[in-house]
Amino acid sequence: GLSLRLSAVADAIPSGRVVADIGSDHAQLLIALAQAGLLKRGIAGEVNEGPWKNASQNVNDADLQHQIQVRRGNGLDVLKVGEAEVVVIAGMGGHLITSILDRSLHKMEKLERLVLQPNNGVDHVRRWLYRHGWEIDGENLVREAGILYEVVTASPGDPDQPYRGLPLPLEQAYEVGPLLWQERHPLLLHKLTEKLEGLDRILQQLELGRSPEARQRLQQLKQTREEWRRWQ
Ligand code: SAM
């Protein structure tokens, strides 16, 4: 079966779609979706030879070559415009994810949904989504082996009202996750506490306490955590 992290990614993918998994590595995600009868067609994209071979081998072993194509290439280069309905990018840093999206904006015109699982820099990913007219319509948080993983899904938003209905100030929403906040996700307090502890440590160690930006960010997170505690 899939790991808890990849299960959370799979849960965010609408069924019966053409799904491209960019940076698929082993292609486990698409194989599991196909085996569960939830996949119309899959395209596994890999830039590196090792993982690309791995994916091809696994798809062949599962006898799913007719349903899942494994392609070698950078990011969304492996796709034709309009070919995929859903694009998944999971298990990479947030900056790598947005750089992959940035170089292929024209490939995203007809996309129904993005499913992103950044291992870090999720605030950066949310900021990118809103700035490019994508509306976050699903968020999840799972913990596996003590590590918190976030899944963010987005669909093309209303260009006239890009930030409609955000329950938090923009900068906080990027950091905290507007839907995690709205839904009072049970792991959100852990995430905020972790972030705060991390920040406290950094501030102490590096004596960054004097930098106004660092102080402001710390203050923001403290406020958010207090508010969330009141709402619990
Ligand atoms: N998506 C899988 C998961 O979540 O378990 C695999 C994650 S793995 C850590 C990241 C994969 O992305 C690697 O196999 C790497 O080769 C691939 N990758 C990195 N940059 C890429 C790019 N620009 N285009 C396609 N694949 C890329």
pLDDT at 164 over 90: no
- Two tokens, residue 39: 């996949």
pLDDT value of residue 173 = 87
pLDDT value of residue 201 = 77
DSSP conformation class of 14: P
Atom 15 (ligand 1): residue with closest C-alpha?
23
Does residue 224 sit within a domain?
Answer: yes
Do 96 and 195 fall within a single domain? no
User: How distant is the alpha carbon of residue 136 from its chain centre?
Assistant: 10
Atom 5 (ligand 1): residue with closest C-alpha?
91
pLDDT value of residue 205 = 67
Q: Which residue has the higher pLDDT, 123 or 169?
A: 123
pLDDT value of residue 128 = 96
Atom 2 (ligand 1): residue with closest C-alpha?
24
Mutate to test the pocket of ligand 1, among 4, 19, 24, 71 (most ligand atoms within 8 A of CB): 24
pLDDT at 163 over 80: no
Domain count of the fold of the chain = 2
**CA 13 to ligand 1 centroid distance, Å:** 18
Where residue 211 falls among pLDDT bands split at 50, 70, 90?
confident
Mean pLDDT taken over the chain: 91
pLDDT value of residue 136 = 93
Does residue 183 sit within a domain?
Answer: no
Burial tier of 124 (Cβ tally within 10 Å: 0-12, 13-18, 19+) = middle
Which residues contact ligand 1 via a Cβ below 6 A?
6, 22-25, 45-48, 51, 74-75, 90-92, 96, 100
Do 224 and 119 fall within a single domain? no
Do 55 and 130 fall within a single domain? yes
Domain range for 224: 189-231
Question: Residue 37 belongs to a domain with what CATH number?
Answer: 3.40.50.150
Give yes or no for a contact between 169 and 227, defined as CB atoms under 8 angstroms apart: no
Does residue 87 sit within a domain?
Answer: yes
Do 123 and 221 fall within a single domain? no
**CA 214 to ligand 1 centroid distance, Å:** 32
**CA 26 to ligand 1 centroid distance, Å:** 9
Percent of the chain surpassing pLDDT 90: 69
Do 138 and 75 fall within a single domain? yes
Do 151 and 195 fall within a single domain? no
pLDDT value of residue 83 = 96
**CA 28 to ligand 1 centroid distance, Å:** 12
Q: Which residue has the higher pLDDT, 60 or 220?
A: 60
Does residue 77 sit within a domain?
Answer: yes
pLDDT value of residue 7 = 98
Mutate to test the pocket of ligand 1, among 4, 22, 104 (most ligand atoms within 8 A of CB): 22
pLDDT value of residue 94 = 98
Atom 10 (ligand 1): residue with closest C-alpha?
23
Helix axes of 28-35 and 4-11: crossing angle, nearest 10 degrees = 60
Mutate to test the pocket of ligand 1, among 9, 26, 47, 149 (most ligand atoms within 8 A of CB): 47
Handedness of CA 102, 103, 105, 108 (dihedral sign): negative
Kindly give the number of the ligand 1 atom that is closest to the alpha carbon of 96: 20
Do 27 and 142 fall within a single domain? yes
Residue ranges of E strands in the chain: 17-22, 39-46, 68-72, 86-92, 113-118, 134-144, 147-156
Does residue 66 sit within a domain?
Answer: yes
Q: Considering 162, 179, 213, which residue would you say is the last residue of a domain? A: 162
Q: Considering 114, 147, 162, which residue would you say is the last residue of a domain? A: 162
Do 205 and 132 fall within a single domain? no
Do 49 and 94 fall within a single domain? yes
Do 205 and 157 fall within a single domain? no
pLDDT value of residue 208 = 65
**CA 24 to ligand 1 centroid distance, Å:** 6
Does residue 176 sit within a domain?
Answer: no
Does residue 181 sit within a domain?
Answer: no
Do 153 and 199 fall within a single domain? no
Does residue 167 sit within a domain?
Answer: no
Q: Which helix (H) or strand (E) holds 189?
A: helix 188-206
Of 201, 210, 208, 176, nearest to 191 by C-alpha is 176
Burial tier of 230 (Cβ tally within 10 Å: 0-12, 13-18, 19+) = exposed
How many Å apart are CA 27 and CA 9, to the nearest integer?
Answer: 13
Do 94 and 203 fall within a single domain? no
For the segment 150-172, the average pLDDT, to the nearest whole number, is: 81
Q: What angle do CA 117, 122, 127 make, to 5 degrees?
A: 120
